[in-house]
Chains A and B, each alone.
Chain A
Amino acid sequence: MNAMTIKHHLPDELLMAYSAGELSEAVNLIVATHISLCDDCRAALGSYDAVGGAVLDTCESAPMSGDSLASVLKLIHTRDDDAPEQEIRVPETDGILPAPLRDYVKGGLDSVRWRSAGMGVKHAILPTSKDATARLLYIPAGTAIPDHSHNGLELTLVLQGAFQDEDGYFGRGDVEVASEDLHHTPVADISEDCICLAVTDAPLRFKGLMPRIAQPFIGI
């Protein structure tokens, strides 16, 4: 889709850990949202899933219990009476929020329950498990977020508009991976209000894979 314009991608460790199922829900959400917009990372994920399949294929096996097949056959017989279940689809696109986000917002942008964070900046925390936090941010065009540093890792994905900081220019689909040592002053592009998904991880997960906990984007 926007593969040609996306310049800032997810790091390999994150794609691999998403494929392995080792990330917390909020981080899974930002990975799934970026992949929805980025064909390169979608293709990379496909190859990490294929590595997972190869691992499954080459690993040792554990014998199933004696009545296992009988139980499974019984289950498929009782459930097979119905037509294949229909996948429940999330609300129609509004061109801003990709499907994984619409699923958490329960609709499009107008379903987001914003709370003010001052200076015209708004945010909305999404309902994920507590081990990491996902929030939508609304930053008026041209607004600068005061200089802030991080205690750890923060991922920010642009959904609308753009922002600029010491690390570069981030437009729709770009992800900024900000670690502890990054002091940055993101400024929303003047042309349009900027909407981002920002995820901060908690210390328990990610140990080793990524740096530790991050402060929220605005330091709330």
Chain B
Amino acid sequence: MISNTVLLPECDPAAVANGLKIRDSCREVSDGKIVLNDGTLNITTPWVDDLLAVRDTRDEAAFIRVFQHFGPRVKAFLMRTGMDAALAEECAQEVLVTVWNKAHLYDATRASPSTWIFTIARNKKIDVLRKQRRPEPEDLPWGPEAEPDQADLIGLQQESEQLGRALRDLPQKQRELIEQAYFGDLSHSEIAERTGLPLGTIKSRIRLALERLRHQMK
């Protein structure tokens, strides 16, 4: 089985383009632009389609594309949280195995692929570094499930894309503060030592960076 699998080079443009297709209710025209059945034009984030293919048809080629894209990012994330390269490699593999095993829980109207995989990687970090489980909020009582709404799905994925762009567009210092808060690689007081900024200032700068993110989302 493994030998039959075509290994895609990382960042294969075809794979990225494939991630832009949303099945069934829309068709791709060009450059990742999507025409919905209602005729509106839309662009969505990559990897949604691959993750849905993993979920719905256990599509291994799609899984490999997800692996090629997210594996190295999850590994880098885990290394920044304090794992050495060998442990981060092992954990990143386990995170991707979880992506496969828990794909049935992925809901594209509630999280982008990056967000969903981030939460799995974060839980792995807590499990391994803190040897703790993480209490999760009670699931919402959704009631009888309506068919997932394509408009919701695309709205959510577009917002995620916007958020990514907004984060990339932040001034470098602000972006680094947010990254450090998520990686946990520096406590705020260590940031203070390094930057010479008092804690209150750092907290308000993080808040400012988040505000700016929110503003750019509008």
Q: Inside 8 A of B214's CB, which chain A residues have their CB?
A: 47
A75 to B123, CA, bound (A): 20
Residue numbers in A under 8 Å from B5 (CB-CB): 73
B residues in contact with A65, CB < 8 Å: 89
Q: Would you give the shortest CB distance from A59 to chain B, in whole angstroms?
A: 6
Q: Chain B, 128-162, contact with A by CB distance < 8 Å: what is the 0/1 string?
A: 00111111111110000000000000000001100
Q: Decide if B87 is an interface residue (CB 8 Å cutoff).
A: no
> Most B CB atoms within 10 A — which of A19, A76, A99?
A76
- Residues of A within 8 Å of B68, CB to CB, are 69
Q: Count the A-B residue pairs with Cβ separation under 8 angstroms: how many?
A: 204
Residues of B close to A20: CB separation below 8 A? 122, 181-184
Contact of A64 among B75, B167, B181 (CB under 8 A): B75
Instruction: List residues of B (109-127) whose CB comes within 8 Å of A's CBs.
Output: 110-119, 121-123, 125-126
**Stretch of B13-21, B34-42, B76-84 at the chain-chain interface:** B76-84
Q: Tell me if B's interface is mostly helix, strand, loop or mixed.
A: helix
Interface size on B, residues (CB 8 A): 85
Chain B residues, Cβ within 8 Å of A51:
163, 167, 178, 182, 210, 213
- A25–B135 alpha-carbon span in the complex (Å): 7
Q: Is B208 an interface residue (CB 8 A)?
A: no
Expressed in whole angstroms, the minimum distance between the Cβ of A85 and any Cβ of chain B is: 7
CB within 8 Å for A57 and B73 given contacts A28-B134, A98-B138 = yes
**B173 sits at the interface (CB 8 A):** no
Let me know if B58 and A80 touch, CB within 8 A.
yes
B135 touches A103 (CB 8 A): yes
29 A-B contact pairs sorted by A residue (CB < 8 Å): A25-B133, A36-B138, A47-B214, A49-B111, A49-B115, A50-B111, A51-B213, A53-B112, A53-B164, A54-B164, A54-B166, A55-B178, A55-B179, A56-B70, A59-B76, A59-B179, A62-B72, A63-B75, A69-B7, A69-B71, A70-B2, A72-B100, A73-B1, A73-B2, A76-B63, A100-B137, A100-B138, A129-B132, A209-B187
Residues of chain B having any CB pair with chain A under 8 Å: 1-2, 5, 7, 58, 60, 63-64, 67-68, 70-77, 79-80, 85, 88-89, 92-93, 96-97, 100-102, 104, 110-119, 121-123, 125-126, 130-140, 159-160, 163-164, 166-168, 175, 178-179, 181-184, 187-192, 199, 202-203, 206-207, 210, 213-214
